[in-house]
Structure 1
């Protein structure tokens, strides 16, 4: 298959990065990619769905990834996976032997092993330019579920109409389920047997980089996990803090211990990001060195500085995110700089996942969440038109239309964009610039 044909298939079938970023996958197909990496680092604590999926569908995923490699002309195909995922590694080894260009890139159980820049360095030794794209280093990274969606599009003619989601923490039975896109989060949580705490809060995504959600919020193509946590949990309280108060706290008690910088994954790879200097300059309103603020654009927002490193409980990541937003709103982009050489100290400053979970008070929730791909009935889905980086899709249905599961209901917008598809059979009840609501036939039958 040539690149143009594959690119069209991926765009029309709505395939985007399922790891959380949502970058349209067709745009990653590039003949400059000498190396492609399958990301099975399962970066965040408690998440399991990617290793589960790769173990169950190792042949389908690796065959498809090999095909992607052939299409872009890659010389090397790497499966980036943590050494601790022994069952998944065995499943991969049983398949990869027939492809000489495929090899394992074994990773330590540390955070954030799944960050693209960190993953590339660990598996290839290459340092991505600060602010640059992996393709500049001849590398393209793909998520496990993303590649499985490519397999389904090519072999089952199935677009992205559902999503795997892990439901963990304060639930009766932690589980990983496949649900229709647009399913309300509260219905997904119910599949785990319900909540086991009062004042439950839904935290969507991983505990380090996720956000507080609501029960009515719909599942999207990038929803990987729902952590059900008590309202007084450290992670929830951290998210509820106001940046204005955090700035005053930083001014009062940041002691410039430099721990936030010493453990920063991007700083350790030579990128010019130094959270401690930012904290000092921001709290003192010292603009004599503007690069301290501009360099916040190199932050990956992994959250280590404020969730693990800072003994004072300050929030460098959140404060830098606010500054980054202001810089971008004013048209300021990262300057072109070269990374400094990676120092030997990096090996001794990696953060073990076990210690991170203990610091986050998540160890008690580290239980199995078995994969269950049984069909999930839903009454109504609300499908967002913007579930990916780039231009939103444009609706091509109207209220009153009957649609079938897998039917395109929104075509790719102008520029970087992908199609959106119905996740259930049913009646379109609402269409606006942000979403499409479909009442499933099952729901209608129940009402009648």
Structure 2
């Protein structure tokens, strides 16, 4: 298959990164990629769906990954997977010899191994420059569910209409379910039996980089997990902090131990992000050196500094995120052409063990099986967002009153970076705005 043909199939079928920011997958297909890398590192604690999906559909996913390798002309296809995912590794080893140029790279159980910059270094030894893209190092990275969605688009002619989501923590029956895009978080959580705390908080995504969601929020193409937590949980409390207070706390109690920088994964790969210098400058209104502020642009927001490193429970990640947002709002772009320093020799001894991370965050008791159920959950109504990806929102091609069938394109790709959006249920369109389309099941 030619690259352009595969790009068109992927764009029209709405395939984007099934996690993170939802980068349109078709843009990653290029003959500049000499290595393709599949991410099965489950970046965050408690997330399980990628290892489950890869174990269940090992052959289909590996076949599609190999097809992508041949299409772009990559010499190597690497599956990055944690050593502890024994059953998934066994499933992969049943077929690995059928795909020349494909190999497994076994990873340690540390955080944030699923960060693509960290993963690329672990699997290939290449360092992506600060603010750069993996393709500059000849690498294209795809996660497991994304590759599975490419398989469904190419082999089954099925667009992206549903999402796998793990529901864990304070629920009676932790589970990973397949739900239609646009259903509510509440409807997803209901699939995990009853909640086991009063007034639960829905934490969307992983415990390190996720956000607090509302029960009425719609599932999107990047919704990986819902953690049901008590409202007084440490993770919830950290997300509800106030930046102005965080800054005052930093000014009064930061002990200048430098641990936030010592354990920063990007800093240890030679990137110019230095949380300790930033905290020192920001908390003292020190603007003599602007580099600590400008270099906030290179923070990956992994949260190691804030959720694990700081002995005073300060909030470097949150304050860095505020600074990044302020720089963007002011039209200040990250410095271009910055080259990384040599990888820190001490990096190997400064990785964050996931087991210890979970214990520190009060998550160990939630680390239970969440069996994968593939039967599509049925709902009565969906609210499908037109922007579920990086780039321009899709443009609606239906109007209120139209009858649609599941899989039908309801919004076409816009000009520029964009993908199509499809009906996740069959029914009647009841509302169309510039942000979403509502479909009621008949």
Q: Give the TM-score range, shorter chain.
A: over 0.9
Secondary structure (helix, strand or coil) at the match of 1:203 reads strand
Distance in 1 (alpha carbons) for counterparts of 2:119 and 2:133: 13
Superposed displacement of residue 100, structure 1: 2.1
1:427 equivalent in structure 2 = 428
SS of 1:78 mapped into structure 2 = strand
- Match of 1:231, SS? coil
Aligned-residue RMSD, C-alpha: 0.6
Tell which deviates more after alignment, 374-383 or 225-234: 374-383
- Indicate the residue corresponding to 1:203 in structure 2: 203
Counterpart-to-counterpart distance in 2, 1:60 and 1:330: 46
Are the aligned partners of 2:39 and 2:79 in contact in 1 as well (CA < 8 Å)? yes
Question: Is residue 79 of structure 1 aligned with residue 79 of structure 2?
Answer: yes
Secondary structure of 1:105's match? strand
1:330, distance to aligned residue in structure 2 (A): 1.9
Aligned to 1:265: 265
Q: Distance in 2 between matches of 1:161 and 1:265?
A: 35
Partner of 1:444: none
Runs of 4+ more than 2 Å apart: none
Q: Given the two structures, how large is their TM-score scaled by the length of structure 2?
A: 0.99
CA deviations 1:203-227 (Å, max 9, x no partner) are 0000000000011000000000000
For 2:45, the equivalent position in structure 1 comes to: 45
Partner of residue 191, structure 1: 191
Correspondence list, 1:44-443, <5 A = 44-335=44-335, 336-441=337-442
Q: Does 1:26 pair with 2:38?
A: no
The one-character-per-residue Cα deviations of 1:20-42 (angstroms, maximum 9, x if unpaired) are: 22000000001110000000001
Structure 2, unaligned stretches of length 5 or more? none
Mapped contact 2:162–2:180 kept (Cα < 8 A):
yes
Could you tell me how far apart the structure 1 residues matched to 2:307 and 2:411 are? 39
* Aligned residue in 2 for 1:446: none
1:105 CA displacement: 1.1
How big is the shift at 1:19? 2.2
Structure 1: runs of 5+ lacking an equivalent: 442-448
Counterparts of 1:419 and 1:100, CA distance in 2: 33
Q: Distance in 2 between matches of 1:200 and 1:76?
A: 45
1:445 maps to which residue?
Answer: none
Cα deviation, residue 329, structure 1 = 1.6
Distance across 1 between alignment mates of 2:60 and 2:404: 29
Deviation at 1:369, TM superposition (A): 0.2
Under a length normalisation based on structure 1, what TM-score does the superposition of the two structures give? Answer: 0.98
Report the CA distance between 1:195 and its aligned residue: 0.7
Deviation track 1:281-308 (CA, whole Å, cap 9, x = no partner) reads: 0011111111110001110000010000
C-alpha deviation, 1:99, in angstroms: 1.6
Provide the rounded CA distance (Å) in 2 between the counterparts of 1:128 and 1:327.
22
CA distance in structure 2 between the partners assigned to 1:100 and 1:66 by the alignment: 8
Shift of 1:127: 0.5
Whether 1:8 aligns to 2:8 is yes
CA distance in 2, matches of 1:375, 1:245: 45
Q: Contact (CA 8 Å) 2:19, 2:221: kept in 1 or not?
A: no
1:371-424 Cα offsets, whole Å, 9 max, x none, are 001121101100000000000000000000010000000001111000000000
Give 1:194 deviation, angstroms.
Answer: 2.0
Separation in 2 of the partners of 1:375 and 1:61?
20
Distance 2:105 2:289 in 1: 40
Number of equivalences? 441
> Distance in 2 between the 1:171 and 1:20 partners?
24
